[in-house]
Amino acid sequence: MTLRTISAKAAAALDKELMSSGGFSIDQLMELAGLSVSQAGIQNADGGYPQAEMA
C-alpha cells in the first residue's frame, strides 16, 4: 500500500473549495478526515483490529 499525501497548502485550497462550492461545513470535513485516519489505522494495524460485537 502506498501512502499518498498532499501539502498543507493544497489541503487548505481543497477545504476552501469544498466549503464554498461543495456545500460542506468545516465540521463535516473534520469528521471525514477523522474517519479516514481511523480506517487507515485499522487497515494497517499488525494482525488487524478486533471489532466490538454489537448487542
What's the pLDDT tens digit per position in 4-51? 889 999 999 999 999 999 789 999 999 999 998 888 887 777 766 666
pLDDT at 29: 92
Phi, psi dihedral angles at 9 (to 5 degrees): -65, -45
Residue for grid cell 471525514 = 32
Q: Identify whether the C-beta of residue 25 lies closer than 8 Å to the C-beta of residue 19.
A: yes
pLDDT at 44: 76
The residues, any chain, with a CB within 8 Å of residue 49's CB and separated by 6 or more, are 41, 42
Estimate to the nearest angstrom the gap between the alpha carbon of 41 and the chain centroid: 11
The pTM is what?
Answer: 0.62
CB 27, CB 13: distance < 8 Å: no
